[in-house]
Structure formats: structure tokens, C-alpha cells
Structure 1
Amino acid sequence: MTVPAAIQSTFDDLGTPLADVTFVVLDLETTGGSATECQITEVGAVKVRGGQQLGEFQTLVNPGEPIPAFISVLTGITNPMVATAPHIGSVMPAFLEFIGDAVLVAHNARFDITFLKVNCERLQLPWPGNVVLDTVHLARQLVTRDEAPNHKLSSLARVFSTRVTPDHRALHDAQATVDVLHGLIERVGNLGVHTLEELRSYTSRITPDQRRKRFLADSLPSAPGVYVFKDEHGEPLYIGTSIDIKRRVRNYFTASEQRTRMAEMVRLATSVTPIVCHTTLEAQVRELRLIAEHKPRYNRRSRHPERAMWLKLTAEVFPRLSIVRTVRDDGATYAGPFTSRSVAEQAVAAVHEVVPLRQCTGRLSSKGTGSACVLAEMGRCGAPCDGRQSPDDYAEIARRVARALDGDGHQVIDALGDRLRALAADQRFEDAAVVRDRMLALVRAAARAQRLTPLATSPEIIAAARTPAGGWEFTCVRYGRFAGATVCPPRSDPRGFIAALRESAEHVERPEAPVPAATHEETEKILRWMEQPGVRIVDIDGVWVCPVGGAAGAQESLDDTMTDRGDAVDFDDSTISRRRPGLRAI
């Protein structure tokens, strides 16, 4: 019988018990406060583990320059005392050997560690990169103003009744800091903190109840996928995705998670359900679908994909623009989707700014028996309602708008650009900003629709990307919907994996173009993945094209201009990537 090989859990999984951690508590005395301009005059350190002292390090250091008088008064270290002391070049190698790989502890650690790093750099010695703990940070979390007026070492020494009184001598201050550290560790131990990882991330913002729930991550896999926090009734509270489910969920119980609503969510959670996925893209798609299905109250995005808006150029004798929620195969031209009605309205206004398309909402007769509105008198409409404009003449105007939405839109875009420049030349900058925002909304919507169309109309696309291990991950997309994924190991024939993927992938019914068979967010996420450098199309049943004079080029130019001017506008639908690398075939 074959016995499975045992796998040693990592410290990151188990946590390092504080009793097993070797600490080197250190303190420096210097000639001043600047690490680049001042020198070290004394080094003191105490090595401890499990509450027991393992060793001490203490030496004066010849700074190579006079010690200022006020420093001598403060520390008691004088020029004659350091005259025969070793220079830092002799002290530093010995001190680095003393600390080894221990966790470094100091009171106001940034000061001491910066001096050590600067001197290592001067001496061309590599800094070992030890973990650092700051007792000032811990004390601010654990010692209240009722106990001490401040968090200076002298004040904390009285709170914890240290055996040595700090007196601005390096070893004495280090010895006092040891007792302060032990006192702080005892306090956090009563709050459920028992490992080095928990101590390093400790903050009073994380309640004991939250810390006690870290066991929810214990049985989770260290694999890519989706995690679902659930309440006592099994209802999803929050859904997220990660390349390492266990590591990510553990972060919700530490100081690295600072979102207030997440702290509230963790208090309500009683379980976490993992869903392991083959690839990162699969995990992202599953996350979107689960959020749309369950609408967890602590997820803010992607909860209502059904609320997306589309811009529709109607199919009638005298077409007009309309904002709709549903796309139908009715001969109309669509652009979008938009994530809010306000952005869709900006796109409509952009077209009306430069194209005399009718803005009335009623259905008009081809005989022109109606009455004209004020827009006709202003020259912003050809008045097809009263017969002044024939169906054929109006059709040419409608074709211009249709081309702007699903093909070559340079006429409309150029006209908007001319309008923008004219307003700016007249110093009507506020009006120009309005036209700019409308123009961006229209261009982004048209670009999105034009880029999504190949995905939405292709019955099947097989795309591949290299894995970090050297194999391939294959994704099957059908009508813009993620249908399946698989991973081919290195040095394996991919053809068998592709064939199996095709057989096992989800069957997808053809949707009504241009709407994909998935939510627009899912299709956009697939598109962004496919546009990444290195992603290749293996096979396609369909046509992968984008209009040469389409809106994508205009959008990139506009976005670059906005970025160059530092005047980018925050749009709800700004998820379109600004760079579109070409896809290669294998």
C-alpha cells in the first residue's frame, strides 16, 4: 500500500507561537536625529525567547565626530568615553551576527532601524531584512490614557514596573523595553493573540470576537477560487475571489482589513464556503454570477447587472434615440451597455449636439401630417413631422448615427471635436466641459459595443494563456459567456485537453445580438483577459473583427488626452481597458 507523503504546513498556515519566537530587543544612542547626518554612539540589545534571556550585546561606538553637548547631557555619553571605543565598521558585523534571523524589537523602531540600515549601506553590508516590531505601536493599542499620560518608554516602564529604569543608555533602555514587550504580549494573549503573525497585525480596531473567528479559515484550501461568507441561516453575506482562498480569508481577521462594513460582516459570519477553480478567470466569472444570483448585502458592485442601460436607434421610418433595458432582434442599432441612466443620457445628448436627429418620442407618419416643435425652428431638427424632411433625407441622418454606434463614427466624433474646440475658442469653458463629458460617454459606449460584438456573436472561441508553471490554461467562450476552462500541464499534448474542454463545456443557446449570452460584466471580464499580452486564440467559430474607423481608436485618443491634461473624468463605465494588445494564434 502506498502511503501519501506528509506535507509540512507552513508557518503562514499555522502561525508561529510567540513562545517559540526569538526576539532581539535593541536600542541605539546617537549624536542626533538624522540617520544620514548623525552617528551611532552606543548599541545595546537583549536576546530573549519564551520569557528567558539568551544573551546581551553592549558597546560604545566611536562616532568619528564630537558629541554635541546637549546629547552628552541627555545620555551621559561623553567624548572621552568613546575615544577608545571601536568604530561602527567593527561593531556592525558583530551586531548583525548577534541578531541573526531574530525578530527585532525597539521602542519607536523606525528611528533605530533606519540608523542600522543607513550604516549597513555605508559599510556595504547587506541588511538581513528581519521582521520588526514596534512597542510604541502596540502600546498605543493596549495602554490607555488612564494608565499613562503618553507612550514614552519612561511612562510605560512605570505601567509595567520594569526591573530597569530607562535612562537613555542603550542597554538599560533595551532591558526596560524587554519588560514592556512581555507586558504587552501578556495583554494581547488575554485577547486571543498567540502567534507572531497575529501580534504583528494587531490593532484595537479588530475586536476579540473577530479574532476568535479566524478558525473559519483553518480548513480552507490554498488554491484559486471563490469564497462565500455565510450567516447562521446559510445566506451569503459577502462573496469574493482570490488566487489563494485561505490566505485571503485569514486577512479578514487581521488589521490588514480596514473596511468598516467588512468588520460588521465578519461579526455576522458563521461559515465560509470555498469554491476552487481551475483558473483565475473562472474564479472571477463565478464570483460575478454568484453575486448577481444572491445579491449579498455586503457586496457593493455587480449586484444588479439587470439594471444595465442600452442606447437604441429605433427601427422605424424616422428613427430616434431611446434608452432601454432590453435588447431585441428588431432591426434596431444598439450601443452600450451603460451602468447608469445618467451616463446614457450624456451619450444621447452628444449625438443631439451635432446631428439633427429628432428628439420627440412619438411615432411619426411618413406623410408628415404632424406639427413642428421648437427644435425645428432652431435648426436642430429637419422637421420630418410636418413633411419638411422626406424619409430618404432623414434616413441619411439616421445612417450617420448608426455608423457612429456600430461602425465608422468619425463624422459624428469629428463634429463633436469641432464643437468642443469652438466653445473653447470662445472661452465658454463650462459649456466645452459639458460637450467633452457627453462625447466621452458616447465614444466609450460605442467602443464597448463594438469590442463586445465579436464575442457576443461567436458560437465558440477557444483561447489560451501560459501558466506560471509552463503549461497552458484553456478557456472556452460561447456567445460571450464563459463555458469552461482546463489546465494543460507542461510537456503535455494540449489537443486532448482542448477536445475534452469542448465536450465538457456548457451548452449555450444563441442570444439576441448584440447582447451576449452572459451579463455585460462577465463578457467584459472575458474580453479584458483575452486582450492581455500572451493570450492567444486557439480556434474560433465566428469572426474576430473591429471596425477600422470605430470608436475604440477615438476612445484611446480621448483617454490619452484626458490623462495628459490631468483632467480625467470619473465615469461609471470606465472599465474599458485603454490598451488593446493584438491576439495571436497558436
Structure 2
Amino acid sequence: MSSTTDALLHPGSPAPSSGNTSGTTSERRWEQQLGLDDLGRPLSEVTFTVVDLETTGGSPAGGSMITEIGAVKVRGGEVLGEFQTLVNPHAAIPPFIAVLTGITDAMVATAPPIESALPAFLEFAAGSVLVAHNAPFDVGFLKHFAEQQQRPWPSFEVLDTVKLARRVVTRDETPNCKLSSLATLFRASVTPDHRALSDARATVDVMHGLFARLGGQGLQTLEDVQSLNGKVTDAQRRKRHLAEDLPTGPGVYLFRGARDEVLYVGTSRHVRKRVRTYFTASETRSRMSEMVTLAERVQAVECSTALEAQVRELRLIASHRPHYNRRSKFPDKHHFLTLTAEPWPRLSLVRSVKDRTMAHLGPFSSRRTAERALAALHEAYPIRQCTQRLGRQPTGTPCALAEMGRCLSPCDGSADATTYAAVVESLASTLVADPTDVVEALEQRMRVCAEDERFEEAGTHRDRLGVFVRSAARSQRLRALVDCAELVAARREDDGRWAVHVLRHGRLSAAGVIPPRADANTWVDNLVASAETVVDSRGALPASSAEECDLVLRWLEQPGVRLVRAQGEWTCPTRGAEGRLALISAIDKARDAGVPSDERGLPRTVARPTR
């Protein structure tokens, strides 16, 4: 087994590689595959569309219109094309604007409207980075009219030459950052004259002049330039070197502080590229900016597959509990619903289930969620909810629930033991196999509430139903995988290689990628033989964690996954809760979208599945 897999199986052991280590065989293998994009996108390889607008005023919200669009597309210092059109504003151009730009009402009378000009410009600029001098003005106008036309705005990246100039040019060189001043400073070949195409051409020369200065400071990629906006601190930019020696394949990265403590753990299919984003404008989270300021080094652990990296991330977060990670730090905090072993059983909310053969529901990530599922079950089954111990012949007094007909009332001795046992048996079946009784009971409650115009109460039942069905579906899926002693599965990845994973009782025990020209059967046999031994604890949770099991299940359920071998059965109940998930999702979407519901609270556009 590789050292990567060894460390995966034993998360407490030293990591096999770090950000300050280079020259390993694995890293050299990845280095052979590096491209220009691995260190960011070099400015010489990026296509820019420099745009300028002329308008009738300063704000589209105030009714101002576009009168001219000019743009120049460049890459590597070469002009690839130009775009220019007058635009009919369907309104009179103010006299002072006409004097400033030279554009008159007569000139735009036969020009295309913005409804025609904007699509043409977006087609011209497609796939490029937008550049403008005072970009919020120009891009703001374009976005406004795209929204007005109900036209989706492309996900353009935007550079503002005004902001770049303020970081690069000093007051000694020019008194301000106006386009005319910068054009003079950088000796632009075109003089700005308040016409769109001329100003766009001048902006191209200014942009190249700014890029030349940035290159002298070691900023040569688009990501470097983007990091110069106000959202990226100097401390972040100074630590860009922390990503230089990281691997370029899938793996986990750990930001470490001054005392070598783990500040943050993350994962990526391309570790180096992902870590670099923490030092650029693409990282907008204030917590991450603070974390980067404290970081002294970045440690990386290479993994064979993306799934292995995700699993390792979960285990490292649980092990180190980093301050700046918000999720997965407490994988053992779970709640379950189970039937008690008493003469008169009841549902109990517990923290663990030591024998998963007992009827149970969970794990739940929070007590509140578990209580909602518990309330849903009590709507369908009139078993006792009191917590006192009852003998076989109780002689207590009935509670309020018994008087309301919502409990069989074993506490006063009036309940028939055979009838109560039948109800408990039906409840146990619901927990592990068939949610029909709960679904129908809650639908009935929703119907009654809706007829009485108690819509808030109907919504409460709807939410309980959703929680129960999702929890039951997850519980059944986890139980099926945990019951299986071993699964070996493979999937052809996007790069054409076969990723293989060995799973034992829901835990990822080994992972790898079949090398080219290797005998697949022999290679898989060796991987299985070297995989971690997992002892079945017989508990409700997998040998790893519920979150890891969820990750594994999502991978197994992807299109293209093939089962290589299995020990034991991997099955889910025929009438299980998964068959109800589509209906629950439709209800939630309809609620969020405001779609009318029928008397059961179901969206009228969704047919209830037949049984």
C-alpha cells in the first residue's frame, strides 16, 4: 500500500508529505503534467475585452440611457477585434452631453436600440475578462439593461483600471487617475475624446502600461492582479509563496500557525491551485482572510482520488478540530430514536445505539431535528410518551394524551398487551422499512388543519413529515452500507483512469488508481489485501463516521460506478423511505416558490405516488 493510503488509514500518524517538501517521486509525476494554468492564468494568455460607454447621464436607475458602445478585444498585446455602435436612446440627448461627446440626436436617430446593441456586444465579449476605466459605471449600465431585457448576465470577471492605477501610480507622476491623465503618463497611442471606441483604445494602452509595472513587482497572472483590489490585505499577498511547492493533484491542505497548530483543513482536486485562491480576490470570507494572516506554512497530503481526499479531510478536522473550520469538528455528536426494552415500550431519544439490529432511527445531527421526527411518529402511533417505568400490571392514572385518545394508556391498566405489542411492532417496521403509516397519518393531519384554515399548524405537520422521511431514508441507506462487510467499487474518472475504493462496514479502507498497462485483477487483489482491517462494532454508526459514510454513498451512487466484489448484502427495503424523497422535495420546492397546494398540503402540480 502507498504511504498516502497508510496515512489515510491511520490519521494520527505523521503526514507523508508537506508543503515544504519537494522532489518526491509522486510530485515529479505530477510536475510532468503541469500547464500554464497551474500557477494561475498568465496575463499574456488571457483575453480581455476593454469596453467604454457614452450615456445621457450618470445612472441608469435615474433614466439615463446608453448612446454608444465601444470595445477592443486583446490578448498578449495583440488586438483581436473591435466593436463599435451608436445606440438610439429613444430620448433627447442633453445639450451638455452632446457638446461633451459630439453625439447628437441626429446621429443616433437611425442607430439600433439597446435591445439589439447589447446582445451583439455580449456575443463579442463572450469568454473574456471585461476591463473598463471606472468599471462600476460601464458594467453597471450593461447589467441594468441586461436585467431589463430579462437577459442572463454572463459570469464575466471584471478589472477596473482606475483601481489598478491607484495601487500602482503615485501622485508625483500624475495628479489624478483620470483616463486622460493616465493616457498621457503611459504615452497612449490614442487620445481620449469622450467617444466610446477612442476611449476604449486609450484604456488598452493604459492597461498594458499598468501590467508592465505589475510585472516588475512579480505579479504576472490574472489572479495576482485581481488580488490588488481592496478586499485582499497586504498580509495575504505576502504569503502567496506558501502555495508554491504544493502538489497539483487531489489532496488535503492544512494551514498551520506560528506554534504549528492546525488553523484550517481543506481539500481540493488541485491542491496548489486551490490554496493560491486564498491569497487572491476570489477569497471573500473575512474569517479566511484572518486565518491566512496567522498562517506560517501550508502542509499538503497527496491522495490517490478525490473521495480519499474528502474522507481524509473529515478525519483530520475531527482529529485537530481547527478553529477556522466550522463543520465536521464533532462527528460523535449524534442523536437516535429507538424503542426501549420494557414491558410497555416507548420511543426514546438517545445518544448511541449499541446494537443496530434494534429498531432505531438516526443518526440525527441535532436534538431539535430528532424531536421533530419523534413528533411525527407520535402522530401515527398511540404508544405512551411518559418516561416512568411501568410493570406488566400498571395501576397508575391516565394522562391527558390518553384522555384525548392519543395514547393507548397502559399506565392505568386499561391497555390490552396484545394490541399494544402490535402497535409497537408496526412502529418498529416503520423505523427500518416502510414509512407509509407516518406519511398517511401526517397527510390526514395536514388535510384537517387546512380544512379548518389552521395553515400554520398544517405547515408544522408538513415540516415534521419532511424531517421524518429524510431521516428515515438516510438511516436505511447507512444501515445497508454498514451491514456490508466489504465492497470494492471502481469508476472511470474524467482523465480516463479507474479509481478503486475498498469499503468495510461503511469505512473507506483503501483507495487507489489503476496504473496504465497494469493487470486490473491483480492490482485490485493487492489493494484489497493491503486495506485496513475494520472490525464491525455492531453499533448503529459506521466504523468511521456518519458523514464519511454519506460521502462514500454519494460516490457509490454516481453514474458509472461498478461493483467489483462484495461480501455480504447491500440492500435497501423495497417500500423504504427513499421512494418518498421525490414527493418531499417537490413539496419543499412548491412551498418556497409559492405554488398552490391541495387540501393535503401537496403541490397541485405533483401527483402523489401510488403504493
TM-score (norm 1): 0.77
Structure 2 CA distance for partners of 1:412 and 1:29, relative to 1, 3 Å = closer
Q: Tell me, which stretches of 5 or more residues in structure 1 are unaligned? A: 83-98, 117-128, 569-586
Q: Tell me how many residue pairs correspond in the alignment.
A: 528
Q: Is 1:462–1:538's contact at 8 Å kept on the other side of the alignment?
A: yes
Q: Shift in Å at residue 347 of structure 1? A: 0.8
Letter of the 2:344 partner, please give it.
Answer: F
Q: Shift in Å at residue 103 of structure 1? A: 8.6
Q: 1:197 aligns with which of 206, 223, 238?
A: 223
What SS class does the counterpart of residue 421 from structure 1 fall into?
helix
Matched residue, 2:369: 343
Matched residue, 1:12: 37
What SS class does the counterpart of residue 11 from structure 1 fall into?
coil
Q: 2:483 aligns with which of 430, 454, 457?
A: 457
Q: Distance in 2 between matches of 1:64 and 1:346?
A: 60
Letter of the 1:351 partner, please give it.
Answer: L
Structure 2 CA distance for partners of 1:164 and 1:421, relative to 1, 3 Å = same
Matched residue, 1:92: none
Q: Shift in Å at residue 371 of structure 1? A: 3.0
Matched residue, 1:121: none
Q: Is 2:47–2:129's contact at 8 Å kept on the other side of the alignment?
A: yes
Letter of the 2:534 partner, please give it.
Answer: V
Structure 2 CA distance for partners of 1:162 and 1:470, relative to 1, 3 Å = closer
Q: Distance in 2 between matches of 1:60 and 1:431?
A: 60
Q: Distance in 2 between matches of 1:58 and 1:441?
A: 56
Q: Larger C-alpha radius of gyration, 1 or 2?
A: 1
Greater displacement, 444-453 / 279-288: 444-453
Greater displacement, 295-304 / 365-374: 365-374
Letter of the 1:153 partner, please give it.
Answer: L
| 1:478 is the counterpart of 2:514 | no
Q: Distance in 2 between matches of 1:551 and 1:408?
A: 6
Q: Distance in 1 between matches of 2:279 and 2:86?
A: 47
Matched residue, 1:542: 568
Q: Shift in Å at residue 229 of structure 1? A: 0.8
| 1:378 is the counterpart of 2:404 | yes
Q: Distance in 1 between matches of 2:72 and 2:450?
A: 67
Greater displacement, 262-271 / 105-114: 105-114
Letter of the 1:225 partner, please give it.
Answer: G
Q: Distance in 2 between matches of 1:353 and 1:60?
A: 68
Matched residue, 2:382: 356
Matched residue, 2:358: 332
| 1:224 is the counterpart of 2:257 | no
Q: Distance in 2 between matches of 1:556 and 1:378?
A: 34
Q: Distance in 2 between matches of 1:470 and 1:48?
A: 33
Q: Distance in 1 between matches of 2:328 and 2:351?
A: 16
Structure 2 CA distance for partners of 1:60 and 1:346, relative to 1, 3 Å = closer
Q: 2:535 aligns with which of 486, 503, 509?
A: 509
- Superposition map of 1:397-416 within 5 A: 397-416=423-442
Q: Distance in 1 between matches of 2:35 and 2:240?
A: 17
Q: Is 2:54–2:101's contact at 8 Å kept on the other side of the alignment?
A: no
Q: Is 2:372–2:468's contact at 8 Å kept on the other side of the alignment?
A: yes
Q: Tell me, which stretches of 5 or more residues in structure 2 are unaligned? A: 1-27, 109-124, 143-154, 595-611
Greater displacement, 356-365 / 513-522: 513-522
Q: Is 1:278–1:485's contact at 8 Å kept on the other side of the alignment?
A: yes
Q: Is 1:311–1:322's contact at 8 Å kept on the other side of the alignment?
A: yes
What SS class does the counterpart of residue 488 from structure 2 fall into?
strand
Deviations 1:483-533 (A, max 9, x none): 111212456432112201110111000122432211110111111111111
What SS class does the counterpart of residue 411 from structure 1 fall into?
helix
Matched residue, 1:321: 347
Q: Distance in 2 between matches of 1:528 and 1:344?
A: 23
Q: Shift in Å at residue 547 of structure 1? A: 1.2
Deviations 1:29-63 (A, max 9, x none): 879899x99667x88999997xxxx9999999999
Deviations 1:125-178 (A, max 9, x none): xxxx99974314535778999x99997635877999999874325686467646
Q: Is 1:454–1:542's contact at 8 Å kept on the other side of the alignment?
A: no
Structure 2 CA distance for partners of 1:32 and 1:407, relative to 1, 3 Å = same
Q: 1:249 aligns with which of 266, 269, 275?
A: 275
Report the RMSD for the aligned CA atoms in angstroms. Answer: 4.6
What SS class does the counterpart of residue 546 from structure 1 fall into?
coil
What SS class does the counterpart of residue 485 from structure 1 fall into?
strand
Q: Shift in Å at residue 387 of structure 1? A: 1.2
Q: Is 1:191–1:208's contact at 8 Å kept on the other side of the alignment?
A: no
Q: Is 1:58–1:170's contact at 8 Å kept on the other side of the alignment?
A: no
What SS class does the counterpart of residue 305 from structure 1 fall into?
coil
What SS class does the counterpart of residue 323 from structure 1 fall into?
strand
Q: Is 2:227–2:280's contact at 8 Å kept on the other side of the alignment?
A: yes
Q: Is 2:54–2:196's contact at 8 Å kept on the other side of the alignment?
A: no
- Superposition map of 1:491-530 within 5 A: 492-530=518-556
Structure 2 CA distance for partners of 1:137 and 1:400, relative to 1, 3 Å = farther
- Superposition map of 1:425-440 within 5 A: 425-440=451-466
Deviations 1:45-97 (A, max 9, x none): 99997xxxx99999999999999795753334789999xxxxxxxxxxxxxxx
Greater displacement, 420-429 / 551-560: 551-560
Greater displacement, 187-196 / 509-518: 187-196
Q: Is 2:49–2:128's contact at 8 Å kept on the other side of the alignment?
A: no
TM-score (norm 2): 0.74
Q: Distance in 1 between matches of 2:322 and 2:279?
A: 20
What SS class does the counterpart of residue 228 from structure 1 fall into?
strand
Q: 2:327 aligns with which of 273, 287, 301?
A: 301
What SS class does the counterpart of residue 446 from structure 1 fall into?
helix
